Structure 1
Amino acid sequence: MKPIESQIVQYRGSHYHFGFEQGKALKDSKIIHNRLKHWKIRRPRFQIDIDETKEQFMRFAPQIWDELLGLRDGLEMPLEEVLRDFGGYRVEINRSGCSILTEQDYMIRNYDYHPQTYEGRFNLFQPNDGGYATIGPTSRLTGRMDGMNEHGLVMAYNFTHRKTPEAGFVCYMIGRMILETCRNVEEAKQLLQSLPHRNAFSYILLDPNGETYIVEASPRGVAIRTANVCTNHFEKLTDENRHYLGDSYEREEAINHQRYPNMSADVAFQLMNDRGGSIFADNYKSWSGTIHTSAYFPKEREVWFALGGDAEPTRFNFGDWLNGEDLNRDKMYGEVETELPFAHMD
């Protein structure tokens, strides 16, 4: 078993200064070192157009553009490199797993991916220059893997495919935009229908009203359905699916077979986080091992988060934090059955 950790980052202030402080703190970190090392081995198969990227951010989330400028200044890196590594527009994305179960009062998500992509940062951010306060794990510093905002809107996404990409935002930046700019699922659905999408992903949405929506989004179209279980295939835009979907259907069937009406959150969390069960995955070398399990409670503004499996989650009262009560911890710990390196530790 490999011990892993995630840093808890709390910040209240402007987007620019949030980016700047993160850049300063991470300038000589393993996260930045490993990103630079990556590009020494591989050439990017995409191009960054600064003007085009800025135009899209200014249209949908101008404050996040300010954060990217702050990150540039804190890291003392060229803007083009910051956009390449942390901008989330026109960049590459790798395939992944992931499973999601919802009920009226909660969403529970297994984040299945490759350890080398995981940066071990969990952010609570309350901006004072526009946008909603958010809580959740980060991806490429500026993006969010899953999360909740101050109004109780919850978001997570699942990979479908990355073939025939087009100019657009990738999943983790879209997730951030949803949480920062949308008050409820209706606004989130509208945003997802108007955004340019780089790849094909499902975005799962829940708010205090209790109805779960799954938005199937690709560069070629968007479709919306209601369901309580989502894995890695579309059910409406089926032409977008990959040829082999056996694992995705198996996890969906396993969740549906084991869930039941009014299942408690504790039981549901254990179902998803049980190392010996049929949902938790250990296929880390194949980009589909479970790294974290998260649970979000829109009405209570509560979050549970666990690294690895068979874990007792760390519990956050986001409502209290929004009222000014800072957390008294700065890290979370867990174990994962792999020898592969993590981006923030190795």
Structure 2
Amino acid sequence: MGQVHSDVIQFRGSHYDFGFKQGQALKGSFILPNRKKQWGANRHFTIDEQKAKELLQSLSPAIWEEICGLADALEWPMYDAIKDFGGYYLEYVRSGCSIFTAPDYMMRNYDSSPQGYEGRFALYQPTDGGYATIGPTMQITGRTDGINEKGLAMGYNFINRRDSEDGFICNMIGRLILENCATNEEAITLLKEIPHRRSFSYVLLDASGETVVVEASPRDVKVRQSSISTNHFELLTEENRYQIEDSRRREQTIQDQQHQLKDAFSAFRLLNDSEKGVFSPKYATASGTLHTAAYFPETLEVGFALGPNRLPLMLDFKKWLDGEKLYVKRINGKLDIDASFVNMAEL
């Protein structure tokens, strides 16, 4: 069993100041040098700096200010900051993920490689526009999943990296949704407007208790209602990978057991217990479960655990929004593999 942890970041203030503070912290972190090693010679993508700037300033000028703050603190050219933090054109590693919702909660397994996991969990309350958010980060500015102050919860599922086009990747799209949308309908409108680099499903649950799954590819966006989402499309089936057997298996496992669930905790156990058949141990193929998250739109509570068979750490986001400080600096966990996250040690 490998010991892992996520660092908890809390900030209230402008986006530029948030970016600047994160940049200062990254100077002493393992994250950036580890990322540089991981990407190495394979990191040969290019970006159109002006186009990325125009898109970000159009969709969310505040997030653009956060990237400016990161660049200034790190003393980087904006071209490099956009490549690392802008979420436009960047490659994204293969991953799994399973999501199950009910009217009052979203349960989400995030499946990927430990070596690609950032190990940062952020609470951010902006003072210059945009909704307050809570959730795990990816590429610093992006979010793998989360919930905002309006009770909109979001998680995504990888579908395919084939036939990619210029556009935003999933974690920046997740951040754009959480920071700018209050309802499912607003998020659907955004997902239909923005360019998508890869094919992903975006699962949305808002304060109304309704869940939608938005199937988004670089070529089309379709919406369906479902309480379960894994790693295949039901509508845009031509975008699916050739092998979706494990995705179908996890979907069926949840379907078979969902009617036996008594409450939110039993739903969390369905996804997090290693013996239930949904939690994935496939870390060697970049599709092992790293975290299980629970989001509650009505109460704004969040549950979070790293690794299997864990009790969720419960966080009261509403109290934090009201000004209470969260006295948690680190979330600890264990994985069934001897590996660390990029925030923990030099790779």
TM-score past 0.5 threshold? yes
User: Hey, what's the Cα distance between the residues in 1 that align with 2:160 and 2:142?
Assistant: 19
Amino acid at match of 1:172: N
Q: Which residue does 1:123 correspond to in 2?
A: 122
Q: Which residue does 1:42 correspond to in 2?
A: 41
Query: Residue 261 of structure 1: CA displacement?
Result: 6.7
Structure 1 position 241 matched with structure 2 position 240: yes
Q: Which residue does 1:14 correspond to in 2?
A: 14
User: Hey, what's the Cα distance between the residues in 2 that align with 1:42 and 1:252?
Assistant: 37
Amino acid at match of 1:257: D
User: Where does structure 1 differ by over 3 angstroms across 4 or more consecutive aligned residues?
Assistant: none
Question: 1:261–1:225: structure 2 CA closer, same or farther, 3 Å change rule?
Answer: farther
Give 1:155-234 correspondences, 5 Å limit: 155-234=154-233
- SS of 1:110's partner is strand
Give 1:319-338 correspondences, 5 Å limit: 319-338=318-337
Q: Which residue does 2:151 correspond to in 1?
A: 152
Q: Which residue does 1:24 correspond to in 2?
A: 24
- SS of 1:10's partner is strand
Deviations 1:277-336 (A, max 9, x none): 200011001010000000000001110000111101111111111100110111110100
User: Is residue 204–residue 215 contact of structure 1 (8 Å, CA) maintained in 2?
Assistant: yes
Query: Residue 47 of structure 1: CA displacement?
Result: 0.5
Deviations 1:236-270 (A, max 9, x none): 00000000101100000001011117630010001
User: Hey, what's the Cα distance between the residues in 2 that align with 1:104 and 1:4?
Assistant: 32
What percent of counterpart residues are identical? 51
Query: Residue 342 of structure 1: CA displacement?
Result: 1.8
Query: Residue 43 of structure 1: CA displacement?
Result: 3.3
User: Is residue 45–residue 92 contact of structure 1 (8 Å, CA) maintained in 2?
Assistant: no
Amino acid at match of 1:58: Q
- SS of 2:4's partner is strand
Amino acid at match of 1:29: S
Amino acid at match of 1:256: Q
Tell me the C-alpha RMSD between the 2 structures.
Answer: 1.0
User: Hey, what's the Cα distance between the residues in 2 that align with 1:283 and 1:242?
Assistant: 18
Query: Given the two structures, how large is their TM-score scaled by the length of structure 1?
Result: 0.98
Amino acid at match of 1:266: F
User: Is residue 154–residue 207 contact of structure 1 (8 Å, CA) maintained in 2?
Assistant: yes
Deviations 1:84-130 (A, max 9, x none): 22210011111100000001100000000001111111000000011
- SS of 1:42's partner is helix
Deviations 1:161-195 (A, max 9, x none): 01111111000000000000001111001111111
Q: Which residue does 1:112 correspond to in 2?
A: 111
- SS of 2:223's partner is strand
- SS of 1:220's partner is coil
User: Is residue 185–residue 205 contact of structure 1 (8 Å, CA) maintained in 2?
Assistant: yes
Q: Which residue does 1:94 correspond to in 2?
A: 93
Amino acid at match of 1:3: Q
- SS of 2:42's partner is coil
User: Hey, what's the Cα distance between the residues in 2 that align with 1:45 and 1:166?
Assistant: 15
User: Hey, what's the Cα distance between the residues in 2 that align with 1:8 and 1:103?
Assistant: 27
Query: Given the two structures, how large is their TM-score scaled by the length of structure 2?
Result: 0.98
User: Hey, what's the Cα distance between the residues in 1 that align with 2:111 and 2:37?
Assistant: 23
User: Is residue 158–residue 230 contact of structure 1 (8 Å, CA) maintained in 2?
Assistant: yes
